[in-house]
Amino acid sequence: MTDPKIPVTEDELHAYVDNELPAERRGDVEAWLAAHPDEAERVQSWRAMAEALHARYDQVANEPVPKRLELERLVQPSRRWVYGTIAATVLAFIAGGGTGWLAHGAAATPSTFQSFTEDALDAHRLYVVEVRHPVEVPGNERAHLQAWLTKRCGWDVFAPELTSTGLKLVGGRLLPGPTGPASFLMYESASGERFTVYTAKASAETTQMRYTTQDKNGAKEGALFWTDRGVGYVVSGSSDRERLSQVARLVYDQTEKKGG
């Protein structure tokens, strides 16, 4: 595996830098590069090029988005149509589903925690304001909703019972997540307070719950994130941490029990 004499092709060098090389070949390429300093220098220059690109253009992504590109403006003329089911999914993705992707390949890759909660909070913000079409499958079809999301997502999607905190299941929908499908469940209290539970595949394991808040357009939202057996959970809603923890704890206890 570490025989530096195995010839390495030009394509493999590029694939190596771009993380497209099969894992078992990486060692060969690294050994080969150690024995070919000129080629190693070339590979290094490609890395520097990527850094220069990020250094030059990442700032664009950090600029405030101009008014004319705001989704609210763009969807206004065809709003009724846009809030159909599939279009809403695309809209959710444009609004938030890809934020975790921003720093892909960048030096400062955001933590799973960050990208996850941003995606989840974006979806939360987008749908909690929806009166007529907040969900694709209503909460009174709980069994169907769970079966459908489980089938599409590939892990056990379970809609926890949150009535003890005064929350009733509104329903759920399927969203594009950071690395594949994501499930999105919405709950509502009698006073109209809404919480959402977002799940998607997560690579990093952290059993510890992490808390974040976001302040956008004057509305403050809080979110709690944790992962369990390769699935990341984000409970979003009230910026009141006590209240949020109470809800998240219930979700955690029930999904934990369910899977374990």
Q: Which residues contact another protein by CB under 8 A?
A: 10-11, 14-15, 18, 20, 42, 45-46, 49-50, 52-63, 65-66, 68-69, 71, 74-75, 78, 82, 86-87, 89-91, 93-99, 101-102, 104-106, 152, 176, 181
User: In terms of CB distance, is 40 or 82 closer to another protein?
Assistant: 82
Q: Is 72 exposed, middle or buried (0-12, 13-18, 19+ CB in 10 A)?
A: exposed
Contacts of 175 (CB under 8 A, 6+ apart): 89, 92, 93, 97, 123, 181, 182, 183, 184, 198
Q: Quick one: 46 or 189, whose CB is closer to another protein?
A: 46
Compute the least distance from the CB of residue 80 to another protein, in Å: 12
Q: How many CA atoms lie within 13 A of 37 on its CB side?
A: 0
C-beta of 35 vs 87, nearer to another protein? 87
Least distance from another protein to the Cβ atom of residue 20, Å: 6
Burial of residue 187 (CB within 10 Å: 0-12, 13-18, 19+) is buried
Cβ pair 123, 184 in contact under 8 A: yes
Is the CB of 63 or the CB of 242 nearer to another protein? 63
Closest separation in Å from C-beta 107 to another protein: 12
Q: Whose Cβ is closer to another protein: residue 102's or residue 209's?
A: 102
Closest approach of another protein to the CB of residue 163, in Å: 33
Cβ of 146: how many Cβ atoms within 10 Å? 18
Compute the least distance from the CB of residue 115 to another protein, in Å.
Answer: 12
Instruction: Please tell me the distance from the alpha carbon of residue 222 to that of residue 196, in angstroms, as a whole number.
Output: 11
CA distance 59 to 72: 24
